[in-house]
Chain A
C-alpha cells in the first residue's frame, strides 16, 4: 500500500515537471523570438501574410490565452504543423522516435551489462591494478567527445577493417521494415527473420558503442563505490560471520542493494545520454529524432524543434518514473521511505 502512495506521489511530481517543461518550451518558442510568425514565413513574406499567419496561430491574443491554446494542443498530442514537411510534427516525430529509442535502449543495456560487472570486479579488488584500470577507462570514457569516438569507430570498422556498415539502420537494398514495435531488432526477431536481425544488429553496433563509452564508465564507478559502501554495513558483517561463502555474499546480499545507485544515476544522466545521441545519430546517419531535429533547426522549423525538445523531456520523465518503480521493487526500503536516496 505504501508503494501505491509512493507511486501516486511520483506520478504527480512528474506531471508537474511536464507542466514546467511546457512553460519553458512556450517561452523559447513564442516569447524569445519576438515574432514567431515572421520567423516562420521568412523575410520575404508581406506584412499581410505575416498578419494572416499570426491570426491563424493565435499570436494576436494575450500571452496567457496563447499559452492555454498551446497547452491544450499538447494535451491532445498536437505539436503543431511542421513548416518544413507540412505534416503534423507528432507524425514526423513518431516516425523518427523509434530509431532513437532503439539506439538509447541498446546503449543502456550495454552500459549495464558491461558497467556493473566492471564495477563489481573493481570493488572486489579495491585499489588494485584492476581497480585503477577501470578508473582510468571510466575517466577516459567521460572525457572523449562522442562525435570523435563515433568518427574513430567509423574509420576503423568501416574503412580500415571493412567489417561493419557505417551508416543507417539497414542495408540500402534491405526489404526489412520495422512494422510492429518500430524497433528493428525486435520486429525482425518477432517475424523470425534472422537475416534481418543480423543486419539490424550490425548497423546498431557502432552507434551503440560510440554512445555507451561514457555511460559504461559512469555505471562502473557508481557500482564500485556503492558496492564498497554496502560492504561496510552491519548486516554484511553478520552474513560473513555466519560463514556464507564470499561469492554468495557478493551476489546475493551486496549486489542487490548496490544496484540502486547506478540505476538512479542512469535516470539523471539520461538527459545527457539523449543529448549525445543527437551527435552520434548525425555521424552515423541514424534516421532518428536527432537527424530530424537538426534538420529542422537549420530550416528554422520552430514547431518541429519544440516538439523534439518536448518529447525529449517527456522521454526523460517517463524513464525516471520507470526507474523509480524498478528501484522500489529491488529495494523495499525505498517503498517504505517513499523516496529514493
Chain B
C-alpha cells in the first residue's frame, strides 16, 4: 500500500525537553524515599511535641541506635527480595542459625573473626537453599519460606534443647570492641550497618545485579527474552538476604554477648513492615534502599517513642499499626504503578 503524503520527518526535529534541574531529577528518582523521610520527620515532630523532655535529649536516640543496626541488616536485603517479586519469611531462622554457628565457634575457643566469616557463609548457604527451593522448585515463596522458618527454628530447638550460649569471653576483646563497642558514645554497630546500607544501595542502583533484580521483578518474561538468567537472579536475592540475616545475627548476639535459640524471632514482622513503610511496593520491579532504611528507623522509633511519649504499653500495637497504614496510604498516593 502507498502513502500519498510523505509523513513529516520527526527524526530531524531536535529533542524537545524542558530543562531539568538536578534537584527535580533527584526528587523524581527518590520519590518514595523522600516520602518516607517526610513520614519520619512528621512522626518525630509529633513525638517531640508530645514529650519534649524525652525527645530533645540524647538517650532515646542512643537506645534506638542499639536496635537499629540489626534491623537495617535485615530490611535492606529484604528490599531486594521484594523487588524481585518474592518474599522471604525464613530470615529470622537463618539469622538464628548463622548466629548459632558464630556462637559455637567462639564458644569452642576459636578466633571470633573466623566465627563471623563462618556465620556469613552459613547465612548465604541457607539463603541459597531457600532460594533454590523456592525458585527451582517453583514454590510460592510466601509459604515455602514460612515452612523453612519453622523448620530451621525447630531444628535449633531440637539440637540445643532450648539452651542459650553465653559468650562472655568476647567482652574486652578486639573483635568485641570493633563490632560491639562504642565510638564517641555511639554504638559502633550503627556505622557497620550504615556501610552495609551504602553497599546495598550501590548494588541496587548502580550495579548490573540491581538493574536485573528490578527487571526480573518488573517483567520476568521480558527479562528472559532478553537473555537474563531469571532463576539465578532470584536465587541470588535470597543469598543476599541470607548474608544480611547472618550479619544481623552476629550483631544481635554481640550486643548482649549471648546467643539465644530464639535469636531473630522478634524481627520478622517489624522488618517486613519496614520494607513497605519505606516505600517499596508489593508488586515488584521497583524498590528503594534508602526508603527501606528510613522505614527501619521509623519502625524502631515507634515503640520507644510511644512509651516515651507517656502512653502506656497498651497503646504500642495500635499506634504501630496506625503509622504503618498511614505510611502505606501516603505511598499509594505518592507513587503510580505503571503497567
Answer whether A and B are interacting partners. Answer: no
Query: Which B positions have Cβ atoms within 8 angstroms of A?
Result: none
